[in-house]
Amino acid sequence: MTDERVRRLHDHLEATAELPVEREVGAYLGEAEAVARDLAERPAEPAVVSERAEHVRDLLAEVEGTGNDEADEHVAAARDLARELVEEPAECDG
C-alpha cells in the first residue's frame, strides 16, 4: 500500500494547480506535483521514495510564496511531508 504521506503530498501539490498563483512559481509547483504524482502511482523502493521526495523538497525550496494564502498552506504542508519522506521513506507499491 502506498504510504499515506505520499498520497497527501501529491494531493497538496495537486490542489495548488487549481488556485491562482504567481506565474514564476507555477513551473516549480507543476514539476513538484508531477514527481509526487509519479511517486503516488508507481511502485518504489524506500531509496527511490527518499530521492524523489528530496527532488520535490528542492523544487519547493524555490517557492518563497505563491501570492495565494490557500496555496501557501498547501505548499507548507507539502514541504513538511517531503521532508518526512526524505528522512523516513516508506516503500510504496502504487
Per-residue pLDDT of the chain (94 residues; tens, 9 = 90+): 468 999 999 999 999 999 999 999 999 999 999 999 999 998 889 999 999 999 999 999 999 999 999 999 999 999 999 999 999 877 666 5
**Domain membership flag for residue 61:** yes
- Its domain, for residue 36, covers 4-87
Residue 3 and residue 41 in contact, taking contact as beta carbons nearer than 8 Å: no
DSSP classification of residue 44: B
Three-state DSSP state, 62 = coil
**Domain membership flag for residue 93:** no
| 92 strand-pairing partners | 44
pTM over 0.85: yes
**Domain membership flag for residue 32:** yes
Number of domains the chain is built from? 1
**Domain membership flag for residue 58:** yes
CA dihedral for 69, 75, 77, 79, sign (positive or negative): negative
**Domain membership flag for residue 92:** no
Query: How much is the pLDDT for 3?
Result: 84
**Domain membership flag for residue 12:** yes
**Domain membership flag for residue 43:** yes
**Domain membership flag for residue 24:** yes
CA-based nearest residue to 25, from 54, 76, 77, 60 = 60
DSSP classification of residue 18: T
Residue 90 and residue 58 in contact, taking contact as beta carbons nearer than 8 Å: no
